[in-house]
Amino acid sequence: MAIPHFLVVGAGIVGAACVRELARAGNRVTVIDSGPGAGLQGGTAAGMGHVVVNEGDTDTLRLCLRGRELWRSDAPPMSERDSYWETGTLWIAEDEETLLQLEGAQKKLESVGVVAERIDGRQLIKLEPALAPDLAGGLRVPHDGVIYAPTAAREFLNASPKVTCHYGVSVKNIGDGIVELTDGRNFEGEAVIVATGISVLSILGEAGARLAEKVSLYPREGHLAITARGTRILDHHIVEAGYQKAAHSTSQAGSKAGSVACAILPRQTDQLCLGSSRRPGEPGPVDPNMMMRVIDRCERFVPSVKTLPILRTWTGARAATSDGKPLLGPVPGLQRTWIAAGFEGLGITQAPAAAELIRQRIMGESCTLDPWPWDPARPYKDSSALTKQENDHA
């Protein structure tokens, strides 16, 4: 009997996770990516690397929780500097009003089995002495962590001899189970999984155009910086409690000024990754004003941040959908072409869970999670209404 053959377009963390899932099930997998190697471009290369369970909508929470569970139990073997490191997340409240809001977040997390501990300002300083002394308190989620996604993507693809990779190639069109390259080659498989981030709808031809009439998939640019080695003055991932509000205050048609919120991630390389910002659009050159806004916001929570030498700054883009949920499932109108894209800032966290769900559905298995909330054929919120709702937060 012939071994089933699948195609995966995109070798970022989501595509690579799909490859590992399919190869583990005994299938042959062909990977196609325009970059020079796995995880070396797009959101995977640009992301902070956090694995975080946040208290957004219930569907997002469930996908994050399953993703984190799989990272903790089933991360690929990697060096100590790249592997999953359970830093925990500290969601920080500047004032009593924000601290009170964290009580609701704690209840929501605990209702689905997430360990979360409220701490006051004095406990906060004991945990992280580098924090500003006037902060009201926070919420500690101890099992969150960090992983170096480019290495994880590469190791996902190296996990099986049944995987063949084609790098530096461009896709002309994707049909039903067929991938056409610009160099004239065609590949056909039992199914195609398209995980190319922002470009996913544009390379799906007419089927992608029809889907685009129902859901917008658009880029949100972010600015990040990393400090020099020997500067890790924090042990936890530090995020201001207003991060979710800031994250969703910039829509496709939103303010070009963008939003910033403190997010500081320690790395096992003895560095700190500083973020975060969001504004509509593809990533461009580093904007010094935006970068300074990010560092100023981090300084509010960790007063010594400005004294740390910055090794590198960069920008990247997150692929966001009009209803805030990724697209995971068959492309409407096609039988053998699937999509895995639109994770916004949670692609690394959710990648293993998304890949598990794709594999289970393609192979007709029982699903660990109900797949419908992320199915590309689901009903969508009206984009204009969403834009208004997001701008109301700004």
Provide the token pair at 76. Answer: 């690929």
Rounded-to-integer distance, Cα 319 and Cα 8, Å: 18
For residue 388, pLDDT over 50 is answered with no
Alpha carbon distance 26, 209 (integer Å): 33
Query: Does the pLDDT of residue 142 top 90, yes or no?
Result: yes
What DSSP string runs through 100-162? HHHHHHHHHHHHTT---EEEEHHHHHHH-TTS-TT--EEEEETT-EE--HHHHHHHHHHT-TT
Domains defined along the chain, listed by start: 5-67+149-216+323-393 (3.50.50.60), 85-143+217-318 (3.30.9.10)
Q: Which residue has the higher pLDDT, 159 or 92?
A: 92
Mean residue pLDDT of the chain comes to 91
In one letter, which amino acid is 297?
R
C-alpha of 130 from chain center:
27
Global pTM? 0.92
In 3D, which of 390, 351, 386 has the Cα closest to residue 51? 351
| Alpha-carbon gap, residue 149 to 169, rounded angstroms | 22
Could you give the CA distance from residue 235 to residue 261 in angstroms, rounded to a whole number? 19
Model confidence band, residue 246 (pLDDT cutoffs 50, 70, 90): low
pLDDT above 70: percentage of residues in the chain: 93
Res. 362: pLDDT tops 50: yes
Q: Are 225 and 313 in contact (CB under 8 A)?
A: yes
Q: How confident is the model at residue 245 (pLDDT cuts 50, 70, 90)?
A: low
pLDDT at 380: 64
